[in-house]
Chain A
Amino acid sequence: MELDFSRQLHFFWALLPEIILCTFGMVVLVAGVSGKYKDADKAPSGDPSFGTTADLGWLSLIGVLIAAGANGWLYGVKEVGQDSMIALDHFRLFANWIFLLAAALTILISFAYVYRQRLQAGEFFALILFATAGAMFMAGARDLIVIFLGLEVMSIAVYALTAFNRRDRKSAEAGLKYFLLGAFATGFFLYGIALTYGATGSTNVAVIATSVSSGAATAGLLTIAIALLVIGFSFKVSAVPFHMWTPDVYEGAPAPVTAFMSATVKAAAFIAFARVFLVAFNDSYTTWFPILWWLAAITMVSANLIALVQTNVKRMLAYSSIAHGGYLLLALTAANPTATAGMLFYLLVYTLMNIGAFAIVISVAHQAEERQYIDDYTGFGWTNPALGVFLTIFLLSLAGFPGTGGFMGKIYLLQGAAESELWWLMVILVLTTVASYWYYLRVAWLMWMKNPTSDGQHDLVITPFPMRLALVVCVGLIVYTGIFPGAALEFARASVQGLGAFGGGIVGLAP
C-alpha cells in the first residue's frame, strides 16, 4: 500500500494506531461510567487482578495490543515523499513500539494500585491511553503544529493523572505544580514555533529544513526560535536547569503514573526533539550544538550529585531519571546516525528498567504511597528473593553494569559521541556513571546485606499476577538486550535510516 496523502483517507491509514488508541480510550471511558463499573471505586471487592475495575484495565490492554498490531501493519505501508504532515518512517514506528510497551507495562502494574487506592478506573486507564496516543502523535508529526498538539494531548492527560489521587494532598500539589510550570514551558515552546514560522514561512519540518539549508531563513529570528524550542523541550525531558518540577512531581504523583511519566513523556519529548533538531534545524547545528553541549554536561553532573543524598526512593529515581535525560542529550548533541540509533536503543531499555523499578517500589509500598524510604528496603532481598533479584537487576541496569541492557545502551551512546569527537562529554558520562553506582547500589546493599529492622517488615508485600507478568517481561528484555544486543541495535539502526541528513558532528567544534 502506498500513501501520498492526496486523499484525506490516507491520513486515516497513516494514523491507524493512534486512532485505535483514542477509540479504545473513549470505550473505556464510557464503560467506566456504566453498569457494574459505575461505583466500583467506592466499594471495591474481590480480586484486584480480575473483575470490576480490573476488567477496564484488561480492556485497555487489548486496545494497546490492537494498536501494536496496527503499528506492525504500518511497516508494509510506504509513503511517497518525505514532506507530508504525518511521517511514516521507521523512526516513528520504533518510537511507537516504545510508547506502546510503556503503556502496556503501566497498565499491568497499576491494577492493584488502582484497586487499593480506589481510583476511578475508567478515567485512569482512558487517560493513559490518550496520553500514549498524544506521545505517538508527537513521534509521527512532521509539522510543528501537530507536534505541539500531540505534546498538549499527552501533557494534559498526564497533569490530570498526576493529581489523580484525590485522597492524597501530595498528589494534588504535584498536579498543580506540574500544570503551572508545564503551561509556562508550553508558552516558550509555542513562541518558538511562531518565530520559526516567522523565520522560514512554514511549520512543516521538511520545508523548514530546506529553508534553513538554503539560507533563506532569517538568521536572528531562527536563533531565538531555536533557543525557545530548546527551553520548551528541555522542560519536558527535565534537563537541568529546567528540572525543578521533576522531583516534587515524581514524588507526589501516584506511583504507576510516575513510572509512565518517566518513560513515555521523556521518550516522546526526545523523539520530537530529535526530529525537529536533526531534520529541520540540521543546518543550524553550529547554533544549537553549544547549547545542548552545556545542557547535557550540567544535567549529567548535577542530577547525579543531588541523587547521592536522597533518602526517598521515588525522589532518588526522579533524579536518576534527570541524569538519564542528560545521557540522552549527549546523543542529541552528537547528532549522527550511530548516536541517534543509540538514543532509540537507550530509550527502549530505559523504559523497561525504569517501569520495572517503579513496579517493585509500588509493591514494597503495599500498592499505596506508604513505605518509600530507602531504609524500608532493609533485608528485603532475603524475605522476597524473587523481587529482590529483580530489583537488583533493574538497579544494576540503571547504573549501567555489564550484562544488562543499560550497559549496552551507554556503550552505544559513547560510540555515537566518539564519532562526533565529544571527548569531554564522554568523560563526564563515564565519571557521573561511576558516581551513580553509589546511590543505586546503596539500595541493593541494604536489601541483601542488612537484616530487616523488625520482624514481618515485608509480610504485606503483594505482587498480583499482572504485575508479575510485567516484571518478567522487563527483566527478560533487559537481560536479553544486555547479553544479545545485536538484534535490537540493528533494528534501531535500520529505524534511523532516512530520518535526515545528519550534518551534525562537525569535527573540531567545542564550546
Chain B
Amino acid sequence: MPTLRGRGWWLTAILVIVIACFVVPFTLLRNVDAWYGSFLFWSVASVLVIAINWYLSSNWKE
C-alpha cells in the first residue's frame, strides 16, 4: 500500500514520463524510423503509467 510520501514520488514519476513522451520522440528518437523507436517508447511509457495507477489506487476500498 503506498504511503503519502511515496504517493508524491510516484505522481512525480508520472509527470516525468509524460514530459518524456513529448521530448524523447522529437529528439533522441527523431531518426529512428522503426517499430523500436517512438512506437515502442510511447507504448512502454503508457504501460508504466497504467502500472503506477494500479499501484497508487490499491488502497481505494469500499
**Do A and B bind?**
no
B residues neighboring A (CB under 8 Å): none
